[in-house]
Structure 1
């Protein structure tokens, strides 16, 4: 599957929630996600991410998900594969054995919603602040950049202060520290 995202830093989360509700979006109860990001051993921050596989182990509500993303048009337009795993520690060891190294731990409180065909998340990321993420699946052969432009238009229609961010949470966390 080809997942396309657009991400925005949010200054006023209450205004965002009101604007989403006005557009018919109801947010689910908050859930904590604990993500461990992985990169190929030879890859370093500052190197291009395009075409490079990155892995993630996520725990949420006692479930563990293993995901591999390969960025295409940019960091937020990726081929994605995901499956549930029974044992996070064993999967962590397997990912390392496959030639990946742990990079950044990302802990966030996420509230999910749906706006038409678009999944959205309001994320409070430890060490970074609050973000709005819009995600959709793009049909094969579709430009990730065109799909992202549509998502940006949706956020503009909300009429809230939202600064577009073109990096992933792991890159943002690495940059602060």
Structure 2
């Protein structure tokens, strides 16, 4: 039986709350042009395995082998993918994070396309204000969240449509200490 799996770094509560506060005014002024993602689901994806029948214990062993040890990270800056996703970037020990993420993927070609980020909102199909994502990216480019030490990575199963407001629900399958 296949499962939709991904490896991710979870955010500590204080990091999540700091970003929630930073986005509060943007969220209030949005006028329903964006669908904000559920803060309880926020994470930094290290590798997406998709629908796979692979044994989770094998993927956990793969993650353990990729370990670079604990690393210090912070959420920093912002950007937009394809004019449809608003994301917050990652700062801190990014060289080690990149190396770790490259070791997490199963396809080396995928490692070339990886960029550490956290999706916070998705645009509805038609934006009333076509400049909105550019303006928000510019405004959030100076964002810096609190620093935290990442000491584990989780393997999660994604259950599409089972979360709040029809979003995904993520279930922790296992964790690996870094």
TM-score (norm 1): 0.24
- Name the structure where strand makes up a greater proportion of residues: 1
